């Protein structure tokens, strides 16, 4: 989700141009995108609305199809809950922030309309809680609506909130986890081991460059301390930090797939090579 109005939707536009320039490529990939929830302090999202009604789902989908230059989205995900729920590093629910929200049933019906129209093949969630995922599945089964097939939540060596109940919900419902930030926003690559989040150091990522990123969950002192210990452990077993972090996800029963981000070819090669990394029982212990 771009934190600036001028870049909102730019990723879809770039991917759409890339696909248009490569005939036949669309059939070879799984194309996924999201519909945003309430604005969360970003007034260019939903015009700053605190509640997302079902009607904008179709408009958002049509806009995505136009930018992506395609007629069908393979996986359409709700980016974050429409209701008050702990997300983006929040561990606890604050009942004082409760407000009116569009029911999960109504959201499912809106998504079902997109599936019926052939604009969307499958639906998913993101930044969702065990209760929320359970309700989406229960109501879909109860009313004969499309089931969510995936939930995209953070999961990494330094962030295992999924293990506090969501993992059982995934198992019982058969929903797959798309683990985002498996490298802990770069902390599990080793690049922050020495400099920390010192913005004066060249070549560091967004945590070092933007104060808003440092305030999020990945930049907590205890997160960096834990990452340094994992990175040291990787080197002690003849690995660089990245393969250890990714192999932890690749070989985890909870994880259906991971979402990675790279800025150069070398990073992409390392991430892909990690698929073949096997972690010894000694290391996993």
pLDDT band at 162 (very low <50, low <70, confident <90, very high): very high
pLDDT one-digit tens code per residue, 230-248: 999 999 999 999 999 999 9
Instruction: Return the pLDDT at 235.
Output: 95
Neighbours of 1 (CB within 10 A): 13
pLDDT one-digit tens code per residue, 113-153: 999 999 999 999 999 999 999 999 999 999 999 999 999 99
Mind listing the domains of the chain with CATH numbers? 5-154 (3.20.20.100)
Average pLDDT in the 59-88 region? 94
How far is 47 from 60, CA to CA, in rounded Å? 13
How far CA 101 is from CA of 50, 86, 218, in Å, comes to 8, 15, 29
Question: Do the Cβ atoms of 79 and 34 come closer than 8 Å?
Answer: yes
Question: Do the Cβ atoms of 61 and 120 come closer than 8 Å?
Answer: yes
pTM of the entire predicted model? 0.91
How far is 220 from 252, CA to CA, in rounded Å? 25
pLDDT one-digit tens code per residue, 267-284: 999 999 999 999 998 898
Instruction: Return the pLDDT at 72.
Output: 98
Average pLDDT in the 13-27 region? 97
**Is the model's pLDDT at 2 over the cut of 90?**
no
Instruction: Return the pLDDT at 54.
Output: 73
- Least confident stretch, 16-20, 44-48, 69-73, 219-223: 44-48
Task: Report which of residues 50 and 59 the model is more confident about.
Answer: 59
pLDDT band at 218 (very low <50, low <70, confident <90, very high): confident
pLDDT band at 213 (very low <50, low <70, confident <90, very high): low
């Amino acid at each position: 989700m771009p934190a600036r109005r001028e870049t909102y939707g730019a990723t879809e536009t770039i991917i759409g141009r890339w696909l248009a320039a490569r005939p036949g490529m669309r059939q070879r990939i799984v194309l996924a995108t999201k519909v945003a929830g309430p604005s969360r302090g970003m007034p260019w999202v939903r015009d700053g609305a605190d509640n997302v009604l079902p009607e904008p789902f179709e408009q958002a989908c049509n806009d995505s199809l136009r930018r992506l230059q395609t007629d069908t989205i393979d996986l359409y995900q709700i980016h974050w809950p429409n209701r008050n729920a702990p997300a983006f590093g929040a561990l606890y629910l604050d009942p004082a922030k409760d407000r009116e929200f569009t029911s999960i049933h109504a959201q499912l019906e809106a998504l079902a309309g997109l599936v019926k129209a052939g604009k969307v093949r499958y639906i998913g969630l993101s930044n969702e809680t065990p209760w929320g995922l359970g309700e989406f599945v229960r109501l879909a089964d109860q009313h004969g609506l499309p089931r969510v097939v995936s939930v995209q939540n953070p999961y990494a060596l330094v962030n295992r909130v999924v293990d506090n109940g969501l993992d059982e919900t995934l198992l019982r419902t058969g929903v797959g986890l798309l683990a985002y930030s498996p490298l802990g926003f770069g902390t599990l690559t080793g690049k922050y081991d020495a400099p920390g989040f010192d913005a004066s150091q060249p070549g560091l990522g967004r945590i070092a460059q933007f104060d808003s990123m440092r305030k999020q969950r990945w930049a907590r002192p205890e997160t960096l301390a834990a990452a340094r210990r994992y990175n040291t452990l990787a080197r002690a077993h003849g690995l660089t930090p990245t393969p250890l972090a990714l192999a932890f996800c690749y070989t985890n029963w909870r994880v259906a797939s991971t979402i990675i981000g790279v800025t150069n070819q070398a990073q992409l090669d390392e991430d892909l090579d990690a698929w073949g990394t096997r972690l010894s029982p000694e290391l996993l212990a």
